Amino acid sequence: MLTYIARRLLTLIPMVIVISFLIYLGLELTPGDAVSHMIPPDAYGSMDEDRLQELRESLGLGKPFLVRYWIWISGVLQGDFGYSLAGGVPISKIFLDRLPATLELSIAALLISTVLGSILGTISALTRGSLTDQSLTVVGMLGVSIPEFFFGLVAILIFALNLEWLPVGGRTLPGYDSFWDRLPHLVMPAMVLSIMMTAGVMRYARSSMLDALSRDFIRTARSKGMPEWRVNILHGFRVALTPVIVLIGFRLPVLIGGSVIIEQVFQWPGIGKEFVSAVRSQDYPLVMMVALFSVLAVLVASLIVDLLTAIIDPRVRLGD
């Protein structure tokens, strides 16, 4: 098991190198460069070309592409994430400030969608064809097809403005710092962010559960004279769980992508919100780091999914 984890971590290195290169290449190919962003447009037009070139040289932009990539990636590997072009703040500081908020939101949404999705999916499968199952199916289709920002706006309208149960947005109020103080702020964005994934997990858990329940070992379990709940949960759900966990792993990028929008809607001070403004202002160093971070998050998540799969399904043999 440990050798497997070590090996998986080692295979992450070439993947990160390839992906970071693609990120760098992608931004290299976009029009404009750092200098064109740093200088206000009106001044840019009147500046003489030699002066601009000088500025580029001083920023290291005159060097060949591969050399610049090397300087960037070796810096990143040593913990030097560079500086944001907007305000010259170290990117590591932005990450430290913003990352906890994004992680908090994503993990909350992940937990909600996993737990709620599998429970509702299981109920749906166990009551197949009933009114419960049919209404859950309709709700599931709605959840998958309606975009999250719409849910976000509706939720704000109902729960924040009309009912005044929850705050409109933000992560906290000045002076309130404990997790419990922040919790009301988290509820709405996390719920809204999890809707689409909950619906997906629910539909998937339902079919996975139906598949498990139709297998022969369910009949064997029944033939032992065990109560229905034990047959359904211990034998059915446990087997149905493996594909659901794999699905959740694959859906993680969706969650990260979704949090970019939700953070905007709820004024959540996370990395996603920072990402949008960085893209808009061509803040390349920051865009690259956020992109690289998302990739890492997905890779680590898929590693965790593989390990979980191995734990719950003995047929998946790891390492030795």
Instruction: Point out which residues bind other proteins (CB under 8 A).
Output: 215-217, 219-228, 235, 238-239, 242, 312-315
CB of 219 to other proteins, least distance (A): 6
Q: Look up residue 84 and give its DSSP letter.
A: -
Give 8 or 215: the residue with its C-beta nearer to other proteins: 215
Give 162 or 223: the residue with its C-beta nearer to other proteins: 223
The DSSP string of 218-272 is HHHHHHTT--HHHIIIIIIIHHHHHHHHHHHHHHHHHHHHHHHHHHHHTT--SHH
CB of 314 to other proteins, least distance (A): 4
CA–CA separation, 268 and 250 (whole Å): 25
Q: Residue 235: which of 126, 76, 87 has the closest Cα?
A: 126
Give 54 or 228: the residue with its C-beta nearer to other proteins: 228
The answer to whether 32 touches 52, Cβ cutoff 8 Å, is: no
The answer to whether 242 touches 314, Cβ cutoff 8 Å, is: no
Give 57 or 228: the residue with its C-beta nearer to other proteins: 228
Give 9 or 226: the residue with its C-beta nearer to other proteins: 226
Give 112 or 209: the residue with its C-beta nearer to other proteins: 209
CB of 230 to other proteins, least distance (A): 8
CB of 318 to other proteins, least distance (A): 14
User: Helix, strand, or coil here: 90?
Assistant: strand
Token pair in block for residue 41 = 């447009």
CB of 187 to other proteins, least distance (A): 35
CB of 137 to other proteins, least distance (A): 20
Specify burial of residue 119 (Cβ count, 10 A radius: 0-12, 13-18, 19+).
Answer: middle
Give the list of residues 6+ apart from residue 79 with CB closer than 8 angstroms, or none. 92
Token pair in block for residue 132 = 């419960």
For CA atoms 172, 174, 176, 178, the dihedral sign is positive
Phi, psi angles (nearest 5°) of residue 66: -65, -40
CB of 169 to other proteins, least distance (A): 44
Give 210 or 296: the residue with its C-beta nearer to other proteins: 210
